Structure 1
Amino acid sequence: MTSGTPDAPDASNWITLFILSIVWGAAFMSMALALEGYGPLTVAAGRTGIGALALLILGSALGQGLGRVPGRQGWAMVSLIGLLNVALPFALLTWGLQYVPSAFAGVSMGASPLFVLPLAILFSPGESADLRRVIGIVVGFVGVIVLVVPGGELASGGENEMPGRLACVTATLCYAVGAILTRRAPPMPPLTLTGGMLLVATAVLAPFALIFDGLPEVSVSRATLALIFVGLCPTGIAFFLRVRIIQSAGMIFMSLVAYMVPVWAVIFGVFLMGEELQPSLYIAVLLIVAGVAAAQWSSLSRLFRR
């Protein structure tokens, strides 16, 4: 059982964070592979459905089923998180991945703390905006601009390449909002919250997938195996770990995963997918990481002193 706190994350928090970074780093490659055989909304609905099924079965076995959601207020928050933190960003990511490399999508996730910090300052009384944080946020957002503005062809996305980039960055904003909402959710077991929000996301995405993608033709293929993997690991298991970290060690600590996910996404994209990346992407990574580090310097210093 994780026993860390936002002021003192323990060893299990750090280990979980590292595992989560690898699993999420592989998610973008897996989604790109799944798109070889399925439409974008089908991939989004499929991963949430598989993840929800796995977590609801596990949650029921461990006494953390949907019956542990605390009343209407709890269900309202679970539904809101399911919509903004799962359904919307998943749909945006899978659509965007049709037009940009998987490594690009992974790097865009590195900008998540840049959205989390301003939101935390606005909605958390204990957070403040000092000069270092402001400079860090500005530098980081310059990196986001470098990431989004075309600097050469990243993929054969044609006219949809720019919308694809914007879709990935918008998904990152959705994750940041979701982190704030998760921290403010009524107390409930992590499996309950995670399974509930994935179930809500599936209920939202499935009808749109049927309307726009049609009934999928399921076969034993690389795309199907990738979809099963992304549903079980980067969705079901990873979202459970994410909720557990946020509830235990806080959203600032959770945002540290943004330093690691882009690295794994680039490694998987370049070495396993054979993607060719433009120099502007690496410049964007440096600016984003530098900005996040400066903006989080006080929090990082406290974490590493303990």
Structure 2
Amino acid sequence: PPVRGRPAGRVWAFVLAMAVFSNALPFLLLSWGQQVVASGFAGVCMAVVPLLVLPLAHVFVPGEVMSLRRLVGFCIGTAGVIVLIGPEAFASTGASFEALAKLACVGAACCYAIGGIFTRLCPAVDLLALAAAVLLVAAVLFAPVALYVEGWPGDVPGLSLAALVYLGLLPTGVAQILLVMVIRDAGPVFLGLVNYQVPVWSVIFGVVLLAEPLPPSLVLAMGLILAGVALSQWGALSRLFRR
């Protein structure tokens, strides 16, 4: 985005906030917390993001009203994720700092919710430039921490380098562009619904690509998640069907 002109300072302030809350801080909290907590707990935390977005959007984003129908729909979707992952998500690992690690995962979910609000409220600017600036600032903030903790990388195998390039281009770079586009167009509440799909697709890909066993709760969980999404977005669906 432009670095000069009347709105430039405000735009870059939002870029900094988005870089911190949508990238650098939640990545740091999750990467540390998931070394200690049960993996399912982190999945449930990410599914709670829409519930955290709802009151924030109600207060800060015009037109994003926290209706009872939306709240019930989000609660049903969250219940579906919990059914999918199972009670082991809340089981204790007995590791040191587990309580603090769980707080870190919850904090990461809060960061994503706050980042979505900042993305929606950012002044009008080219979306590609905005996504690029956010990732650049996040990298500048995060790289010194990584170098301090891990040190300078040594010999990197070709397969690891290819995986790194893939992760940087698609799930991070392209995903950031799509995230900005959807939030600016449809709002943070709508984008929050994506978090319900993540554990479902994780299970499906695990079954198809890694030959993991198919959990019997998958169908029930998907039913709850789809019902929650449909209920929370009933107004938009009704307008679509009327067309």
1:224 equivalent to 2:124? Answer no
Distance change in 2, residues 1:278/1:266 (3 Å):
closer
Deviation at 1:103, TM superposition (A): 7.4
Which 5+ residue runs of structure 2 have no aligned equivalent? none
Q: Which residue pairs with 1:301 in the alignment?
A: 238
More displaced 10-residue stretch of structure 1: 123-132 or 99-108: 99-108
1:159 equivalent to 2:95? Answer yes
Deviations 1:6-33 (A, max 9, x none): xxxxxxxxxxxxxxxxxxxxxxxxxxxx
1:266 equivalent to 2:203? Answer yes
Q: Which whole-Å CA distance do the structure 1 matches of 2:65 and 2:31 have between them?
A: 35
Partner-residue secondary structure (3-state), 2:175: helix
Partner-residue secondary structure (3-state), 1:152: helix
* 8 Å CA contact 2:29, 2:104 repeated in 1: yes
Which 5+ residue runs of structure 1 have no aligned equivalent? 1-64
Q: Which whole-Å CA distance do the structure 2 matches of 1:163 and 1:277 have between them?
A: 32
Deviation at 1:93, TM superposition (A): 2.8
Aligned letter for 2:119?
Answer: T
Q: Which whole-Å CA distance do the structure 2 matches of 1:193 and 1:141 have between them?
A: 31
1:95 equivalent to 2:36? Answer no
Deviation at 1:260, TM superposition (A): 3.2
Identity within the alignment, %: 49
Q: Which residue pairs with 2:176 in the alignment?
A: 239
2:194 to 257, 260, 268: 257
- For normalisation by structure 1, the TM-score amounts to 0.62
Q: Which residue pairs with 1:204 in the alignment?
A: 141
- For normalisation by structure 2, the TM-score amounts to 0.76
1:133 to 70, 78, 82: 70
Deviations 1:177-206 (A, max 9, x none): 211111110111112111111111111111
Aligned letter for 1:187?
Answer: A
1:116 equivalent to 2:25? Answer no
What value does the CA root-mean-square deviation take over the aligned residues? Answer: 3.9
Aligned letter for 1:159?
Answer: A
* 8 Å CA contact 2:39, 2:89 repeated in 1: no
Taking CA–CA contacts closer than 8 Å with sequence separation of 6 or more, which of the two structures ends up with the larger relative contact order?
1
2:131 to 194, 199, 207: 194
Deviation at 1:244, TM superposition (A): 1.8
* 8 Å CA contact 1:111, 1:288 repeated in 2: no
1:174 to 95, 107, 111: 111
Deviations 1:202-242 (A, max 9, x none): 11111111122222224124433222211111111110121
* 8 Å CA contact 2:61, 2:120 repeated in 1: no
